[in-house]
Amino acid sequence: MSAACDPSDAELFFTRRRAQQAQQICASCPVRVECLAHAQSKPEPFGVWGGLTALQRGWDSMGRRRRSHAVKSAPTQAPFSDSPA
């Protein structure tokens, strides 16, 4: 299965003013979910990936992760309690 962006101009996906056009191509892509998963698992601070812009994926315009989108780790243990169950 190939991506809908395969024959496209790569610059289209990395130019902010053309992001909407890139997102339209992504909308019909058979591997959109996998593409977005890739971008979220790697530091991909620029471009349209899986139909989302870098801003929508939590990056600022300088390529830094925005605090509101920081990944928070779950506690590894249940909180300790002195009270009987």
Residues 32, 51: contact at Cβ < 8 Å? Answer: yes
What is the chain's pLDDT, residue by residue, as a tens digit (85 residues)?
789 988 778 899 999 899 999 999 999 999 999 999 999 898 888 999 999 999 899 887 777 787 765 443 333 343 333 444 4
Domain definitions of the chain by residue range: 11-57
What pLDDT shows up at residue 72? 38
Nearest to 65 by CA among 73, 57, 74, 53: 57
Q: What is the pTM of this model?
A: 0.69
